[in-house]
Amino acid sequence: MTLLPGDGGCFEVTLDGKLLFSKLKLQRFPENGEVMKLVAAARR
């Protein structure tokens, strides 16, 4: 897993090239634990 800095207020989480969360699309930050749940589900 690699953390890459963003710019312009974007906060996006991808795993193996698949977008799991996008602050820009949803217009919100993730809730507590939301990103970890998305990553766990994508790894199954």
SS (H, E, C) 1-44: CCCCCCCCCCCEEEECCEEEEEHHHHCCCCCCCHHHHHHHHHHC
20: in domain: yes
Cα–Cα distance between 39 and 30 in angstroms, integer? 13
| Residue 6 pLDDT class (50, 70, 90 cuts) | confident
pTM of the model: 0.81
Would you say residue 6 lies in a domain? no
In a domain, 33, yes or no: yes
* Residues 21, 18: Cα–Cα separation, whole Å: 9
Taking alpha carbons only, the member of 8, 15, 18 closest to residue 36 is 15
Q: Is residue 28 part of a domain?
A: yes
Residue 1 lies in a domain: no
Tell me the one-letter amino acid at 41: A
The model's pLDDT over 9-39, given as tens digits with 9 standing for 90+, comes to 789 999 999 999 999 999 999 999 999 999 9
Residue 23 structural domain: 12-43
